[in-house]
Chain A
Amino acid sequence: MNVHVTNSVVLRDLSRSFKGKSVLDRISLDVPRGQFVSLLGESGSGKTTLLRALASLDDDAETSGRYTTPESVSVLFQDARLLPWKTVIENLTLGLRDPNARDVAAAMLHEVGLGDKADAWPATLSGGQKQRASLARSLLRAPDLLLADEPFGALDALTKLRMQALLMKLVERTRPTVILVTHDVDEALRLSDRVLVLKNGRIAEDHAISLPHPRHDHQAEIISLRARLLKSLGVDTDTI
């Protein structure tokens, strides 16, 4: 019973297949409350499928095994998924029944640097601004679990760094459990307490990173883990 108190996410032999094609193969995993986990893996390794399973999406998949997630889950998609016919602040408060939602959302917009964009249409925002709004929408709900599917994958390098810093700032305040799917090894090393590598629908590697934040690319632990992760992802750094 003690397991459920300290673990936010528990997976036991979770398998998922689409039309007979196996994507997740008996995955078991415990994620303690408040841990920041990055999921790395080549395309088709099953990392997005795992995330979407935890978000209770993909009803058409055949699923076996079991998983538990907290009551309050937020999902951050790669595309910001703002409804174009709602203003930025309306997008943030969508589905919230709290009468103070608008005030809280306005404060959150200030927090992510979009204080003056509350009444703007999403179509007028830049890619980075849209993703900020999307991040604000996710964290406004004070989730116990944040599921992020390559949220910064489509952003330019500088915007990406700013967004990573913003995510860390917001996450450190409320400490939700975070599962981040990413292609970016450096992003995983910079942000997470734990890095998982998925291969053919199974967890192939599981590394803990105990370094405090902020981290630096030249720290010895980072350098050796980066080389190791890149190698397991099939990148030969010796030839670059």
Chain B
Amino acid sequence: MVDISTSGLIRQPARVERRTTTGRQATRLTPEKLPAGVRLLGPAIVLVIWEAASRLGFLSPGTLAAPSTALWTGYEMLMDGSLLPHLTASAGRAYSGLLLGVVAGVVLALLSGLTRTGEALIDGLVQIKRAVPTLALIPLVIIWLGIGEAMKIFLIFTAVLIPVYINTHAALRGIDIGHVELARTLGLSRAEFIRHVALPGALPGFFVSLRLAVALCWTALVVLELINTQTGIGYLMNRARDWGQTEIIVVGIIIYAVLGLVSDALVRLLEQRALSYRRALGS
């Protein structure tokens, strides 16, 4: 046997050799989950390169201030009290507009999503408003409301209204037909149906819209604070541009980023609380 097989006249079938390999590893098709905090690696590398470029003189302070300079400037402004009034002014505008927009968006979505008359009257109007960029309304709104606070809050309000309406309305219309049938066979009244089935069913869609709205209110603010104002983060950045203070511009950018992230985290926390019944699904 040994002679024959080694002489090469009889080849061992290939599968016999394969059988000797230990276990077959299943191919991993999706990337492994990242440990907490590791997704900050990218931003950290950018920061290090940016800082190094500034210190080594590749990046002049007139073009872009070093992150350390900006952080120090921000700290100083916070301590001497020159930052806070601007921060509260901006936050006041953003959140007033957000509040009005969310309330109006939800009310309109309910009217339009739950009644035929409401849908006939409201939906077309909102779709038209959606097609018009907020910035295109600025000249008209200035003529109507002047260049003061009312104009800024109104424009944030109209910008926020749209995603809140669209998503909440879609969630109301997309209600599970099985739940509607259940409500009918249980003999629920229309009010009971809205309260126990339609509204809770639309809540996830509403939270999606809230996250969009929170991001949008800050985005709209940046542009609006370039128009006639003596307060606000946008004003601060605009003035710094005139004086060539790039470190203050970077401070403004950082503040917008932090506010955006914190606002989003707050909404997500709220969402987790309100939709706690869903957490069971993941476990």
A residues lining the B interface (CB < 8 Å): 55-57, 73-75, 77, 79, 81, 83-86, 94-95, 121-124, 137
Whether B185 lies near A94 (C-beta < 8 A) is no
B191 to A: closest C-beta gap in Å: 11
Interface contacts beyond A56-B184, A57-B185, A121-B280: sample of 19 additional A-B pairs, CB < 8 Å, sorted by A: A57-B181, A73-B185, A74-B185, A75-B185, A77-B178, A77-B182, A81-B178, A81-B179, A81-B181, A83-B196, A85-B201, A85-B203, A86-B200, A95-B183, A95-B186, A95-B196, A121-B276, A123-B277, A123-B280
A55–B186 alpha-carbon span in the complex (Å): 11
- Closest residue of A by beta carbon distance from B276: A121
Known: A77-B178, A79-B178. A85 touches B277 (CB 8 A): yes
Which bracket fits the contact residues of B?
Answer: 20 to 34
Residues of B within 8 Å of A123, CB to CB, are: 277-278, 280-281
A95 to B281, CA, bound (A): 26
Of listed B179, B183, B186, residue having the most chain A CB within 10 A: B186
Q: Which residues of B contact A79 (CB under 8 A)?
A: 178
Proximity bits, B193-207, A CB within 8 Å = 1, else 0: 000110011010000
Q: B280 near A83 (CB under 8 angstroms)?
A: no
- CA of A74 to CA of B187 in the docked complex: distance in angstroms? 10
How far apart are the CA atoms of A77 and B177 in the complex, in Å?
Answer: 13
Closest Cβ–Cβ distance, residue B243 to chain A (whole Å): 54
Task: Point out the residues of chain B lying under 8 angstroms from A83, CB to CB.
Answer: 179, 182, 196-197, 200
Give CA–CA (A148, B184) in the complex, Å: 15
For the complex, give the distance between the alpha carbons of A57 and B181 in Å. Answer: 7
Q: Which B residues are CB-close (under 8 A) to A94? A: 186, 188, 196
Bound form: Cα–Cα A73–B184 in Å = 11
In the complex, chain A residues whose CB is within 8 Å of the CB of B76: none
Q: Lowest 3 CB-CB distances: which A-B pairs, in order?
A: A123-B280, A85-B200, A75-B185
Give the contacts of B167-224 with A (CB-CB under 8 A).
178-179, 181-188, 192, 196-197, 200-201, 203
Instruction: Determine how close the nearest CB of chain B comes to the CB of A133; give it in whole angstroms.
Output: 13
Closest-CB distance, A188 to chain B (whole angstroms): 23
A84, B196: Cβ atoms under 8 Å?
no
Cβ–Cβ < 8 Å partners of B183 in chain A: 95
Query: Is the pair A95, B192 in contact by a Cβ cutoff of 8 Å?
Result: yes
Q: State whether A86 touches B184 (Cβ < 8 A).
A: no
- Which residue of chain B has the shortest Cβ distance to A137 in the bound complex? B186
Point out the residues of chain A lying under 8 angstroms from B186, CB to CB: 94-95, 137
Q: What CA separation (Å) do A137 and B182 show in the bound complex? A: 11
CB distance from A149 to the nearest CB of B (A): 11
CA A85 to CA B186, docked complex, whole Å? 17
For A52, the closest partner residue in chain B by CB is: B181
Q: Across the interface, which residues of B come within 8 angstroms of A84, CB to CB?
A: 277-278
Q: 23 A–B contact pairs at CB < 8 A?
A: A56-B184, A57-B184, A57-B185, A74-B185, A75-B185, A79-B178, A81-B178, A81-B179, A81-B181, A83-B179, A83-B197, A83-B200, A84-B277, A85-B203, A85-B277, A86-B196, A94-B186, A94-B196, A95-B183, A121-B276, A123-B277, A123-B280, A124-B280
- Residues from chain B with a CB closer than 8 A to the CB of A55 are 185
Residues of chain B with a CB closer than 8 A to A85's CB: 200-201, 203, 275, 277
Q: How far is the CB of A82 from chain B (nearest CB, A)?
A: 9
B201 cross-chain contacts in A, Cβ below 8 A:
85
Are B277 and A81 touching (Cβ within 8 A)?
A: no
Please tell me if the beta carbons of A81 and B182 are within 8 angstroms of each other in the complex: yes
CA distance A137 to B187 in the complex (A): 13
Chain B residue with Cβ nearest A123: B280
Q: Are A95 and B187 in contact (CB under 8 A)?
A: yes
CB distance from A29 to the nearest CB of B (A): 21
Which residue of chain A has the shortest Cβ distance to B181 in the bound complex?
A57
A73 to B185 Cα, complex, angstroms = 8
B 267-283 binary contact with A (CB < 8 Å = 1; else 0): 00000000111101100
Pick from B181, B182, B184 the residue with the most CB of A within 10 Å. B182
A95 near B200 with CB under 8 A, answer: no
Nearest CB in chain A: distance from B210 CB, A = 17
Q: Which residue of chain B is the closest to A59 with respect to CB atoms? A: B184
Q: Which residues of chain B have C-beta atoms less than 8 A from A122's C-beta?
A: 277
Task: Point out the residues of chain A lying under 8 angstroms from B281, CB to CB.
Answer: 123
